Amino acid sequence: YMSGVMAKRACEGAGKRLCSQAEWTAACRGERGAAFPYGPSYAEGGCNVFREAHPAVVLYGDASKNHLDPRLNLAEGSNGPLLRRTGATPSCRSSWGQDGVYDMVGNLDEWVESESGAFQGGFYARSTREGCDARITVHPPQYLDYSLGVRCCQ
């Protein structure tokens, strides 16, 4: 439930900034430069994306309704909670030596720096197999809904 405007302010408030598309993609690909955090090609269930249900369908029977309902990210599909706790999908980890970054593909889309608005990663109910290259540019920075979050860069 974070707009691009709110995301930018949150990062600034933390003494950081929104990541550029290049920074975000590099972090997602990890030190191996893979197309997905876990490797070179799509693996079903590798990250929390392309799930079996859309939360608005679960609650309302229609994916286009009530995208500001706070219950959407609490919805469950046949395989459990649609939105998972960070790190709950261990295979969705971009490796950097002993360190790693979890859930850059799936879970929530993440705002990146763009005057016209852009987010990356693919949220849990999006039907995408684009991995670290998944990018949406059709919403202005003022837009928000249940599928949006942010990571900050320094």
Looking at residue 146, what is its pLDDT?
95
Looking at residue 52, what is its pLDDT?
93
Q: How far is the C-alpha of 115 from the C-alpha of 21, rounded, in Å?
A: 12
Q: What percent of the chain has pLDDT over 70?
A: 100
Q: Going by C-beta distance under 8 Å and a sequence separation of 6 or more, which residues neighbour residue 32?
A: 39, 95
Closest CA to 90 of 75, 80, 100: 100
Q: pTM for the whole thing?
A: 0.94
Looking at residue 152, what is its pLDDT?
98
pLDDT in tens, 124-134: 999 889 999 99
Range name among 16-20, 24-28, 38-42, 124-128 with the lowest pLDDT average: 124-128
**DSSP alpha helices (H): ranges in 30-115?**
55-60
Mean pLDDT, all residues of the chain: 96
Looking at residue 107, what is its pLDDT?
95
User: Which phi and psi angles does 110 have, rounded to 5°?
Assistant: -130, 130
Query: How far apart are the two ends of the chain, measured CA to CA in Å?
Result: 23
Closest CA to 132 of 36, 44, 38, 49: 36
pLDDT in tens, 49-99: 999 999 999 999 999 999 999 999 999 999 999 999 999 999 999 999 999
Q: What percent of the chain has pLDDT over 90?
A: 99
Looking at residue 90, what is its pLDDT?
96
